[in-house]
Amino acid sequence: MSYYDPKDLRKFGNITEWSEELGTKFFDYYGKVFEEGALSAREKSLIALAVAHTEQCPYCIDAYTKDGLQRGVTKEEMMEAVHVGAAIKSGATLVHGVMMMNKVNKLDG
72 binds other proteins (CB under 8 A): yes
In sequence order, the 6+-apart residues with CB closer than 8 A to the CB of 28 are none
Cβ-contact 49, 65 below 8 angstroms? yes
Restricting to residues 5-64, which ones interact with other proteins according to CB under 8 A?
Answer: 6, 10, 40-42
Buried/exposed 7-24: b ≥16 CB within 10 Å, e otherwise? eeeeeeeeeeeeeeeebe
Work out the widest C-alpha separation in the chain, in whole angstroms. 59
Among 15, 33, 69, 92, binds other proteins (CB under 8 A): 69
As measured in angstroms, the least distance from the Cβ of 79 to other proteins is 13
Which of 74/90 has CB closer to other proteins? 74
Which of 31/109 has CB closer to other proteins? 31
| Interface ranges with other proteins (CB under 8 A) | 6, 10, 40-42, 66, 69-72, 74
